[in-house]
Chain A
Amino acid sequence: MAGTTLLDIKGVQTYYGNIRALNGVDVSVNQGEIVALIGANGAGKSTLMMTIFGAPRARSGTITFAGTDITQMPTHEIARMRIAQSPEGRRIFPRMTVMENLQMGASLDNLKHYDEDVEKVFTLFPRLKERIAQRGGTLSGGEQQMLSIGRALMARPKLLLLDEPSLGLAPLIVKQIFDAIRELNRTQGLTVFLVEQNAFGALKLATRGYVMVNGNVTMSGTGKELLANPEVRAAYLEGGHH
């Protein structure tokens, strides 16, 4: 399975008004990989994530998913290509219960696999099962992140995009979430593209990684290579990261 390119981003430029946020970015994600994109605040990581979903839309360049050009596709059509996302800030539905949030994730198939997939999510994140009837907004940060990932998984994605899943979470919870991602990749062969500031954790998890600075991809390599790279270490790992 591994090897074929699932997501291919070529020369993508994205603007917010007149301000260029992405400066010709090339990133590719192969089937079965975990790819991490690391970089400082404001480097354009989340912008790239959102550009894949067409909000904001790339002004130039192409984004190809499984051989289809999705650059100009409406956002909901892109989601229908089976790209699921746990967006930055989790964006769960706060007044809806855990079950309803998961149900929304299964909208694509009109709940065909709902019962089965809900069980899978609960096996992955048993904490969610305890919170079943609770409203999303009353969950803790870690549980919200689990819910956000669970909701994305309900769509049976071919590619899972994770935007800063470790943001604001305790180290133990971060480990749980990273373990869950690794588990999904290993057992189900799920392809994952994640954006992280927690460079150490992300690169340890990832098959390959990209480093982004000011809207440009400046370095790429396997997770191990990047972890060993002195520049990466100086910029992202030795400033207090664990």
Chain B
Amino acid sequence: MAVTVSPERDSVATPIQRALKEAFYAGAIALGLFVLFIGLKTGQNISNELVLTERWGLLAAVVIATAVGRFLYVAYGQPFMANQKITDVATGLLPASVGSRFFQLPAFILAVVAAVLLFVLSNSLAGWVGAEPAGYLQFLRALAVIYVLASVIYYFRAFIHANFTKLGVAALVLYPILVVAVLSLNAWSIVGGLQGSLKWVDNFGIQILIYVMLAWGLNIVVGLAGLLDLGYVAFYAIGAYSYALLGTHFGLSFWILLPAAGMMAAFWGVMLGFPVLRLRGDYLAIVTLAFGEIIRLVLINWREVTNGSSGISGIPKVSFFGLMSFNVSDPNYIAKVLGIAQSGAYYKIFLYYLILGLCLLTAFVTIRLRRLPVGRAWEALREDEIACRSLGINTTTTKLTAFATGAMFGGFAGSFFAARQGFVSPESFVFLESAIILAIVVLGGMGSLVGIAVAAIVMIGGTEALRELDFLKQIFGPDFTPELYRMLLFGMAMVIVMLWKPRGFVGSREPTAFLKIRRAVSGSFTKEGHG
């Protein structure tokens, strides 16, 4: 016999009821958390007295936003995500994914048309509708462009996934050319395009690639050898000062000093390595942290050599392999030699390709080393030091080579940094830099070159992009400077990534050994996660 339960007694709280309850709790927690953070602001007035500013309106806005966000997530977000996993009774298929619903052809065409129209009309828009709406229209244009790009990426996602490395390298090689081309079209002059490209190539391209290189260098020490190094910026500093001092005092060229700076940093890597050979984990982290600070303090206090905290300026530029120069006054200035218009952009584009080359060198060396005995020994050392030693691996030399190799790439990046800035001071080599580089390695997934590169683009590119978000001033008022929030966003992004992917963007590692080591991997093994 069937037992029927009356619907009233069976009823559980509907999502809406539950959401209301949870929203109330979230609001209460936000109120408790932020009442002193946001509700009250302390400052001082002109006669140095403590002034208490009350900001109840802002507090209310934050609390309401939290509650509403929680309500929407519990009432609609969670049921939606649960539904995505339930197959349709009639067809037996899973519901269409969010992606395929979001990226549809009509919307794509609309976005293309909107973007093109707004690009064509961009100069005359402000005159027609006024400055403020024009700002919003520019924002709309940016959204349309992002939507178009995202649609293309979504459509080709399988292809992109399969050829990620090749496509990534190709995109990096073409990046400055594309930037100049697009901006030249936009400004309808090549000189204008070159001028406009400065920001994109320098602030985004070079800046990100420096961090990619640093993170890849640190990856050898932390990701492969498992030696937690919190003072990596010291080697960056050593490389930078090596080039700065030798370049300004002896006028040696970058092409001689680049390897010299690398060697110098590697030497100091070994110097750091010796005392910390017996340390691991937290203890190693503390000593390397101290090493980073020691180098910085030496740079500040050894005034006779390093010029203290005023730093070294007038660092010579890199030449085009000695053939052409990037100094306007030189007789072999690139624009004179090639008979083209003067522009500072040539140097930036050249530097972009230089750092790209250095990055690729780092990646190449890392990939090759992983397949050599020393690279395998690094990974084994990370896993189990005692087992390593009982297999006949000399852990002393293994650790020292890891420190030296990692430091060498830090030194390369440092000398490049000095050449790019033309000025170095100890301020560029603070602990925060080490922390950011380490964060990129951890977020990307220790040991994974692709993951680390993506993490560097997101972290460094993201914080740089904040400077571009001028339209936010129209929402939050002219005093709002988005770049001040970059550390907050950096932290938030890290928390989110660590919750979502605790091993970093790319958590898996590529095996390096197969059944027949000198032959290609047979198909029967590629199935099990090699591909």
Contacts and interface: CB of A to CB of B under 8 A. Distances in A.
**What are the nearest 8 A-B pairs in CB distance?**
A79-B392, A93-B383, A91-B387, A99-B513, A133-B528, A75-B389, A103-B513, A100-B513
B386 A87 contact: yes
B511 A133 contact: yes
Given A79-B390, A94-B383, A96-B383, A132 B515 contact: yes
Contacts of A146: none
Contacts of B515: 99, 118, 132
Interface of A: 53, 55, 74-77, 79-80, 84-85, 87, 91-97, 99-100, 102-105, 107-108, 110-111, 114-115, 118, 132-134, 151, 155
B395 interface: yes
A79 B391 contact: yes
26 contacts: A53-B389, A76-B392, A79-B390, A79-B392, A79-B393, A84-B391, A87-B387, A91-B386, A91-B387, A96-B380, A97-B511, A99-B511, A100-B511, A104-B377, A104-B388, A107-B373, A108-B391, A110-B373, A111-B373, A115-B518, A118-B515, A133-B525, A133-B528, A133-B530, A151-B391, A155-B392
Interface in B388-431: 388-395
A95 B503 CA distance: 13
B339 to A, nearest CB: 56
B379 interface: yes
A76 B386 contact: no
Contacts of A85: 390
Contact of A115 (B384, B392, B517, B525): B517
Contact of A104 (B376, B511, B514): B376
Given A55-B389, A91-B386, A132-B525, 19 more contacts: A53-B390, A74-B394, A76-B392, A76-B395, A87-B390, A92-B387, A93-B384, A93-B387, A95-B379, A95-B382, A99-B515, A103-B376, A104-B391, A107-B373, A107-B391, A107-B393, A111-B373, A115-B516, A133-B525
A96 B389 contact: no
A95 B391 contact: no
Contacts of B389: 53, 55, 75-76, 79
Contacts of A92: 384, 387
Interface majority SS (helix, strand, loop, mixed), chain B: loop
B373 A108 contact: no
B429 to A, nearest CB: 32
B199 interface: no
Contacts of A99: 511, 513-515
A53 B387 CA distance: 11
Nearest to B384: A91
A110 to B, nearest CB: 6
Interface in B499-513: 509, 511-513
Given A100-B513, A132-B525, A107 B377 contact: yes
Contacts of B380: 93, 96, 104
B529 interface: yes
B517 A114 contact: yes
Interface of B: 373, 376-377, 379-380, 382-384, 386-395, 509, 511-518, 525, 528-530
B376 A100 contact: yes
A103 B517 contact: yes
A107 B376 contact: yes
Contacts of A80: 392
Contacts of A132: 515, 525, 528
A79 B528 CA distance: 33
A105 B517 contact: no
Given A87-B387, A107-B377, A97 B392 contact: no
B517 to A, nearest CB: 6
Contacts of A110: 373
Contacts of B529: 133
A174 to B, nearest CB: 22
A117 B198 CA distance: 58
Which of A92, A110, A132 lies at the interface centre, i.e. has the most chain B CB atoms within 10 A of its CB?
Answer: A132
Given A75-B390, A132-B525, A102 B373 contact: no
B125 to A, nearest CB: 55
A55 B392 contact: no
B513 A97 contact: yes
Nearest to A97: B511
A142 B395 CA distance: 28
A157 to B, nearest CB: 10
A151 B511 CA distance: 17
A94 B379 CA distance: 11
A76 B390 CA distance: 6
A109 B387 CA distance: 17
Contact of B513 (A53, A55, A75, A102): A102
A49 B140 CA distance: 71
Nearest to A81: B392
B99 to A, nearest CB: 31
Nearest to A137: B383
B513 A76 contact: no
A3 to B, nearest CB: 28
A110 B373 CA distance: 7
A30 B512 CA distance: 39
B449 to A, nearest CB: 17
A56 B118 CA distance: 74
Contacts of B384: 91-93
Contacts of A115: 516-518
Contacts of B388: 104
Contacts of B530: 133
Contacts of A114: 517
A134 B509 CA distance: 12
B394 A76 contact: yes
B512 to A, nearest CB: 6
B510 to A, nearest CB: 10
Nearest to A129: B515
A155 B389 CA distance: 13
Contacts of B393: 76, 79, 104, 107
Nearest to B390: A85
A80 B390 CA distance: 9
A78 to B, nearest CB: 8
